[in-house]
């Protein structure tokens, strides 16, 4: 099993990362993708990926931090990618109109620039989309990235069907396990198996029955269980296909 999106460089893991990784291993989580939200987190995540063979990483600027995008940001991202084969994608990037922590026009500009960077570097993109699906689509439709995942997908199927028709992936978190998440489970039902990934987004959004606690990669098993139930398939089958999808999407070496 692969946790396709976790923030291992977050300060919540600074005290006990080895124990967290040991529990992930014991739960059957063989590999994970450590996500960058800021330049600092991207650099820290790359250090973690360099230290552990089974961890890979992404680099990018989250829409919350779009206002921090500077004259040399693209250059810094480019040099991080060039410095290590462990960097497997640009992300997480996108638009967040829920918190609006950066002005929307700047979010859109920074998203567009990082999508173009990913094309230039032939890397897939990990997209954050919150209350912004129309603008995310219009920018994606303009740049046409070759490989993209909507991470932590909470959208209804009618809003994300066009992404799936374009060949892009959807990735689901522990939010899918919450009682009120019927709309998300409906999206899971519609999402083709070969375009679906699972993730924790740890340390946030712990799935049932760990809800309210710090989330960690071992808990991705609960997301797999939820997807298996919605799809009417075994956990082993969901494990197999989501692992294959993540390996293909991030271009991971054979383990
Ligand atoms: Ni995230």
Distance from residue 86's CA to the centre of ligand 1 (Å): 18
At 134, give phi and psi (nearest 5°): -65, -45
Spatial distance between the Cα atoms of 108 and 119, rounded to a whole number of angstroms: 17
Does the residue 37 lie in any domain? yes
Q: Which two tokens stand for residue 168?
A: 């892009």
List residues, by chain if needed, whose CB lies under 5 Å from ion ligand 1: 201
Residue 114 lies in a domain: yes
Q: How far, in Å, is the centroid of ligand 1 from the Cα of 11?
A: 14
Q: How far is the CA of 240 from the centre of ligand 1 (A)?
A: 23
Using DSSP's 3-state secondary structure scheme, residue 191 falls into coil
From the CA of 190, how far away is ligand 1's center (Å)?
Answer: 23
Measure 71 CA to ligand 1 centroid, in angstroms.
24
Tell me if 136 is assigned to some domain: yes
Residue 18 confidence (pLDDT) above 80: yes
pLDDT at 252 over 90: yes
Q: How many other β-carbons are positioned within 10 Å of the β-carbon of residue 180?
A: 7
- pLDDT for 196 equals 98
pLDDT of residue 254: 87
Q: How many angstroms separate the CA atoms of 116 and 162, rounded?
A: 20
* Tokens representing residue 108 in the block: 């859109």
Tens-digit pLDDT profile for residues 219-243? 999 999 999 999 999 999 999 999 9
Q: Check if the beta carbon of residue 198 is closer than 8 Å to that of residue 224.
A: yes
**pLDDT of 212 above 80:** yes
> Rounded to whole angstroms, how far apart are CA atoms 79 and 67?
21
Q: Per the structure block, which two tokens stand in for 220? A: 């991705």
255 in a domain, yes or no? no
Query: Residue with structure tokens 């066009």?
Result: 162
Count: domains in the chain: 1
Q: What is the pLDDT of residue 26?
A: 98
CA of 198 to the centre of ligand 1 (A): 12
Q: Is residue 18 in some structural domain?
A: yes
Q: In this structure, is residue 7 part of a structural domain? A: yes
- Separation of CA 92 and ligand 1 centre (Å): 7
Question: Tell me, what CATH number does 200's domain have?
Answer: 3.20.20.140
Neighbours of 255 (CB within 10 A): 10
Domain span holding position 217: 2-250
Mean pLDDT along residues 45-49: 98
In the chain, % of residues over pLDDT 70: 100
Rounded to whole angstroms, the Cα distance separating 61 from 80 reads 13
Res 255 pLDDT > 90: no
Mean pLDDT of 135-152: 98
Residue 221 covered by a domain: yes
Alpha carbon distance 210, 203 (integer Å): 12
40: nearest Cα among 85, 88, 7, 2: 7
Q: How far apart are CA 237 and CA 226, in angstroms?
A: 13
Give the confidence band of 165 by pLDDT, cuts at 50, 70, 90.
very high
According to DSSP H, which parts of the chain are helical? 17-26, 39-51, 73-83, 104-120, 133-143, 157-165, 182-190, 220-231, 235-250
CA of 13 to the centre of ligand 1 (A): 14
Q: How far is the CA of 6 from the centre of ligand 1 (A)?
A: 6
Burial of 142 (0-12, 13-18, 19+ CB in 10 A): exposed
In the reported structure, the alpha carbon of residue 5 is separated from the centroid of ligand 1 by a whole-number distance in angstroms of 6
High-pLDDT (> 90) share of the chain, % = 99
**Which secondary-structure segment (H or E) carries 197?**
strand 196-198
Segment 51-104, tens digit of pLDDT: 999 999 999 999 999 999 999 999 999 999 999 999 999 999 999 999 999 999
For residues 174 and 205, the answer to whether their CB atoms sit within 8 Å is: yes
Strands 2-6 and 87-96: unpaired
Residue 36 in domain: yes
* 35 Cα: distance to centroid of ligand 1 (angstroms): 7
CA of 216 to the centre of ligand 1 (A): 12
Each residue of 23-39: pLDDT tens digit? 999 999 999 999 999 99
Contacts with 217 (C-beta within 8 Å, 6 or more apart), sequence order: 3, 6, 8, 20, 21, 23, 24, 27, 29, 32, 200, 202
Tokens of 175: 């939010």
């Amino acid at each position: 099993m692969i946790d396709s999106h976790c923030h291992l460089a977050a300060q919540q893991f600074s005290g006990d990362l080895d124990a967290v990784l040991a529990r992930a291993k014991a739960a059957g989580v063989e590999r994970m993708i450590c996500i960058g939200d800021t330049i600092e987190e991207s650099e820290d995540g790359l250090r973690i990926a360099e230290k552990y063979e089974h961890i890979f990483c992404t680099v990018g600027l989250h829409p919350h931090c779009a206002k921090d995008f500077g004259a040399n940001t693209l250059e810094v991202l480019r040099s991080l990618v060039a410095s290590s084969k462990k960097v497997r994608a640009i992300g997480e990037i996108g638009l967040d109109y829920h918190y609006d922590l950066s002005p929307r026009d700047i979010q859109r500009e920074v998203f567009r620039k990082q999508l173009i960077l990913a094309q230039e570097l032939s890397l897939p993109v990990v997209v954050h989309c919150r209350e912004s699906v129309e603008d995310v689509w219009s920018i994606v439709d303009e740049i046409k990235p070759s490989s993209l995942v909507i991470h932590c997908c909470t959208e209804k199927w009618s809003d994300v069907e066009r992404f799936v028709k374009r060949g892009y992936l959807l990735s689901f978190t522990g939010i899918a396990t919450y009682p009120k998440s019927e709309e998300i489970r409906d999206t899971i039902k519609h999402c083709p198996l070969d375009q679906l990934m699972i993730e924790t987004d740890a340390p946030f959004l712990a799935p049932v029955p760990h809800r309210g606690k710090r989330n960690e990669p071992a808990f991705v098993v609960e997301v797999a269980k939820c997807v298996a139930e919605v799809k009417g398939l075994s956990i082993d089958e969901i494990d197999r296909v989501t692992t294959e999808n993540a390996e293909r999407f991030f271009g991971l070496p054979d383990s």
